[in-house]
Amino acid sequence: LEKIIGIGSFVVKGLQNKSILKKAERELNFINKNKISVVSFLDEDYPEKLKHCVDGPILIFQKGKVNLKNKRIISIVGTRRITNYGKSFLKEFISDIKKYDPVIVSGLAYGIDIYTHQLALQNNLQTIGVLAHGLDNIYPKTHQKEASKMLENGGLISEFWSNTNPDRENFVKRNRIVAGLSEATIVVESAEKGGSLITAEIANSYNRDVFAVPGRVSDIYSRGCNQLIKSNKAAMITSVKDLEYILNWETEQKPKAIQKQLFVDLDEQEQNIYDYLLEKGRQNLDAIALECQYPIFKTATVLLHLELKGVAKPLPGKMFEAV
């Protein structure tokens, strides 16, 4: 085993350690007893968008009725000290976005997180809480009621084994999953420093869209959002219409007349992406860039050229297909 690349002596010693094997056995018993799903990076059920993150977890533990297949997924984060302004925005936003039946992701923390989960439940939307500890407990305990309801429409996700405490560093690790699961992250309220700004930073590093709700310059819990907008790290969002426009969402796709030429000259990059779309069918921007091995910005430019040449067309949710 030591001679196999990627294993080495350290891993071999771990396999010979009986205490580690006993710990693994306890974890398996916990998983089976509590009906927890274990999903590895190589499984088909592993979240598609999370696969495109270089630091995505190898294993994730799921509890509930999590269904992310062909779903629009939005993460909503913010301060633990939610104000009436934040509540007002969220109440209207969740109500208006209901028509798209999105999956709403957050962190089950105080403030923006729990209020987001509550509104999603009220609107019968699937909502997922990403935890900074194992699935054997809920932190904070006051959110146990909401967590139980979420198991019926959505659920809980964690990369941590049972008996893992909600230590400070685990929340930062949790934030990358919140950002990685979704196509866009919305920061509703934030002070100048906070975990939600870290989530926004991570989402930007994944080339995902980031939105921030603007507020008055005198409001403490709008300063972080205003700074994101000012520094071009987030697009300003005031309603669902802003999300629709930037993510190219439409409730009813309007037919667009495209004149396809009989003979179209394509350069090498255009031909590669066009051939990929012909073979795979509808694909999102991230998948096209990953599989064709081009940067996101370059892929977007080539897709625009293909659209202008009448051989590809854009679809809602950053999807594209060959014509």
Domains of the chain: which residue ranges?
1-33, 63-247, 268-322
Give the span between the Cα atoms of 57 and 50, in whole angstroms: 8
Give the span between the Cα atoms of 49 and 179, in whole angstroms: 10
**Structure token digits, residue 212:** 């921030």
pLDDT at residue 64 above 50?
Answer: yes
pLDDT at residue 67 above 80?
Answer: yes
157-183 confidence digits (pLDDT tens): 999 999 999 999 999 999 999 999 999
pLDDT at residue 250 above 80?
Answer: no
Helix ranges (H only) for 182-267 are: 195-205, 223-230, 240-247
Specify the DSSP element, H or E, that contains 209: strand 209-212
Q: Which CATH number fits domain 268-322: 1.10.10.10, 1.20.1250.20, 1.10.40.30, 3.30.70.20?
A: 1.10.10.10
Specify the DSSP element, H or E, that contains 322: strand 319-322
What topology is assigned to 63-247 in CATH? Answer: Rossmann fold (3.40.50)
258-315 confidence digits (pLDDT tens): 444 555 788 899 999 999 999 988 898 989 989 999 888 888 889 988 988 889 988 8
Give this prediction's pTM.
Answer: 0.76
**Structure token digits, residue 237:** 């969002």
Give the span between the Cα atoms of 202 and 205, in whole angstroms: 5
Tell me which residue of 280, 260, 269, 278 sits closest to 303, measured CA to CA: 269
Query: Which of 144-147's residues contact partners 24+ apart within 8 Å by CB, and which partners?
Result: 146/108, 146/114, 146/117, 146/118, 146/121, 147/108
Average pLDDT for 102-120: 97
**Is 63-247's fold the same as 268-322's?**
no
